[in-house]
Amino acid sequence: MASTIAPVPHPSAAERAAQGKQARKKVPRSQLGEWDLSHRTAEPLALLEQQATTRVQDLVPIRYGRMAVSPFTFYRGAAAVMASDLAAASRSGLEVQLCGDAHLANLGGFASPERSLVFDLNDFDETLPGPFEWDVKRLVASFEVAARHRELSDKALKNLTLAVGRSYRVAMRTFSGMSNLDTWYAQLDIPTVVAQWGEEVTNQTLKNLQRTVTRAQSKDRLRALAKLTRDVDGEPRLSSDPPLLVPIEEVFSEVDAERIQTTIRDALRSYRRTLSGDRRHLLESYRLVDLARKVVGVGSVGMRAWVALLIGRDNDDPLFLQIKEAEASVLEPFLKKSKFSNHGQRVVEGQRRMQSSSDIFLGWQRVEALEASDGRMHDYYMRQLWDWKASANLETMTLEGFGYYAQICGWTLARAHARSGDRIAIDAYLGSSDGFDRAMAAFATAYADQNERDHAALTTAIATGAIEATSGI
């Protein structure tokens, strides 16, 4: 019987490079650096309010309060705003699996299944295939916004944004010359980071890196057990710290809490089918003992997120799973609709395609409405809550550290795109000159200006009472 699966084309390396050069003729690299407010098709606050309609309403003011703190926190929460803006600009036509929210705080360290600390992208709520430069623009602009927050000089700002673009471009050239398997296996663990960039920085920066590693390795499930739980009749239960962490019985009535516990228990049982057999077997050795609603991030505040506490051999063998809602990507109105009907699966499949190493319990499930008044199904993805975690401290990072971090982030994004897109075509588009670097830096400057205006509009709306916000949480 003939196969119904369409054959996969395999153009030569020369043909792929020609495609990249042709894309550059249609959309010159300099054109990627342009930002023009006249192209904006939607008001930022209207987009944010539209997002709020499907979220837990009593948490939405916390989101606005967090976004209002600074232009950088606004930027973190405004992925939908930037998606709309990027859609109005010229596109290279060279597609990859996009992170969709590739700002500098969405990269960091975590434990690989082999128990080494790796550095990678770590947020994929908005992942979707699209033009590679959308991720690069969001990453580069995030450095400009964060560096302005730190009041770095104009020269330092320019050097940082140029460094991100240059690191991405140079890394893509390296990957374009590597084999498919070597590109797939490439990852950044701490020894690789030190070997690749260690000679460029001072001993103090390397010491700061080691302190970050040590802190990350201590942020594990046992620390979560100590910090997030209390003892109830000899067994751990999730603590109450409203509104950030609220046990299920404090969110709903006794009857509803019991119903929801059953619903989530069934969902966790069904979600096991999205894991490989060995990991399913491991998960089945744990029993669910408690649930709590959790507030996460900045842009994600108001999305339905739960923490499930499971116990294995004994009380000193905990497993914390985060159960997080996944809605349509903010990119979807401007790109092709996801091929996955379940947005939890969209997140998981995108993450597996872009990350060098993913959490062993990463999976998805569709769950019936938890709130009685909701009446619709919700997609979720599951992963461990804490399995080591390292993130850059932007408030204390030195100028040298910023430059170091810029190079690491640019390399990491290039590696993710090289896995999912045509690295040879993208390399040919980028070229060997600094034209792409300068275009990204120019975009970062212009868009950071726009972001400051958008942040001011939010703070004005809060001050006038047009938008309700809760600060300090």
68 — phi, psi (to 5°)? -80, -10
Q: Do residues 357 and 272 both lie within one domain?
A: yes
- Which of the listed residues 351, 384, 417 is the one where a domain comes to its end? 384
Which range of residues forms the domain containing residue 100? 13-217+392-463
Q: Do residues 307 and 374 both lie within one domain?
A: yes
Asked if residue 226 belongs to a domain, the reply is: yes
The reported pLDDT for the residue numbered 409 is: 96
Show the tokens assigned to 317: 């063998």
Relative to beta strand 245-247, strand 235-238 is: unpaired
The reported pLDDT for the residue numbered 52 is: 95
Tell me which residue of 193, 102, 176, 112 sits closest to 141, measured CA to CA. 102
Asked if residue 3 belongs to a domain, the reply is: no
229 — phi, psi (to 5°)? -130, 165
Asked if residue 403 belongs to a domain, the reply is: yes
Q: Do residues 166 and 283 both lie within one domain?
A: no
Q: Do residues 201 and 226 both lie within one domain?
A: no
Q: Do residues 116 and 183 both lie within one domain?
A: yes
Q: Do residues 326 and 413 both lie within one domain?
A: no
Q: Do residues 161 and 239 both lie within one domain?
A: no
- Which of the listed residues 343, 361, 384 is the one where a domain comes to its end? 384
Cα distances from 226 to residues 110, 218, 237, 262, 352, in angstroms, run 20, 12, 11, 26, 31
The reported pLDDT for the residue numbered 342 is: 96
Question: In this structure, are residues 381 and 348 in contact, taking their beta carbons and an 8 Å threshold?
Answer: yes
Q: Do residues 365 and 431 both lie within one domain?
A: no
Per the structure, the count of domains in the chain is: 2
Residues of the chain with pLDDT under 50: 1
The 10 Å Cβ neighbour count of residue 454 is: 22
Relative to beta strand 378-384, strand 318-326 is: antiparallel
Amino acid sitting at position 387? D
Asked if residue 280 belongs to a domain, the reply is: yes
The reported pLDDT for the residue numbered 113 is: 87
Asked if residue 4 belongs to a domain, the reply is: no
The reported pLDDT for the residue numbered 135 is: 98
Tell me which residue of 155, 102, 99 sits closest to 128, measured CA to CA. 99
Tens of pLDDT along 411-448? 999 999 999 999 999 999 999 999 999 999 999 999 99
Q: Which helix (H) or strand (E) holds 115?
A: none
Q: Do residues 361 and 337 both lie within one domain?
A: yes
Tell me which residue of 327, 397, 2, 463 sits closest to 160, measured CA to CA. 397
Q: Do residues 281 and 414 both lie within one domain?
A: no
- Which of the listed residues 384, 409, 426 is the one where a domain comes to its end? 384
How far is Cα 268 from Cα 134, in angstroms, rounded to an integer? 34
Asked if residue 472 belongs to a domain, the reply is: no
Q: Do residues 213 and 276 both lie within one domain?
A: no
Q: Do residues 204 and 227 both lie within one domain?
A: no
How far is Cα 250 from Cα 54, in angstroms, rounded to an integer? 22
Asked if residue 434 belongs to a domain, the reply is: yes
Asked if residue 468 belongs to a domain, the reply is: no
How far is Cα 242 from Cα 234, in angstroms, rounded to an integer? 23
